[in-house]
Amino acid sequence: MDVLLVVDMQEAALRGDPLHAISEVSTRINALASWARASGGAVVFIQHTEAAGSPFEAGTRSWEVTDALDPRSVDLRVQKSLNDAFAETELTKVLRDLQAARVIVTGQATDFCVDSTVRSAVSRRIPLLVASDGHTLRDRPHLSAAQVIQHHNWVWANLYAPGSIQVLPTAQIVRAATVSDCTPAV
């Protein structure tokens, strides 16, 4: 089964300066979620959670998944408090219980939470697919968001993890039925 991870696409994370291509990224994440559900896969929303009074306080409006996405009642949720969605969370157990054959990563904060989650999955030898156009961030003081995205897509595609990671655009992912149908195009 394919499992789509949607990392930190929460109202609080989308406040402030605009995220790069957020409307397009949200549309692609929704397309991937629909595809995953229709093909018998699962969707897991990763939600950053902090102490009471924080914009990421569990149960608050700002902690919720952004209105730009379309979560369903069948979707799962995992709370995290660190950049890495696997660190000190139940994500490994959730993926095991779902019998995940492949994990597809999308979300917000390409260079922090998405990157940490990708690298952690690779270190766990989880077959991984990153939607090259399904993650975003804000411009950084030293690089534009587009440059950071381009850099991370290249790094992920070239990690020493033979056969366990691919970086592909959303359109190619939703056209492919199996891992063997996916040909890297970064």
CA distances from 103 to 12, 119, 156, 168, 176 (A): 25, 12, 14, 13, 14
The residue segments making up the domain with residue 83 are 2-181
At 36 the pLDDT is 98
Q: What is the mean pLDDT of residues 69-86?
A: 98
Structural domain contains residue 131: yes
Kindly state whether residue 186 falls inside one of the protein's structural domains.
no
Domain assignment present for 6: yes
Task: Establish how many alpha carbons lie within 13 A of residue 51's alpha carbon, considering only the half-sphere containing its beta carbon.
Answer: 0
What is the count of structural domains for the chain? 1
The answer to whether residue 111 sits within a structural domain is yes
**pLDDT tens column, 138-182:** 999 999 999 999 999 999 999 988 668 999 999 999 997 544 444
* CATH assignment of the domain containing 121: 3.40.50.850
Residue 15 exposure: Cα atoms within 13 Å on the Cβ side: 10
Task: Extract the tokens encoding 126.
Answer: 């989880």
Which strands form 42-48's sheet, in the order they lie side by side?
A: 76-80, 42-48, 2-7, 102-108, 128-136, 165-168
pLDDT in tens, 26-73: 999 999 999 999 999 999 999 999 999 999 999 999 999 999 999 999
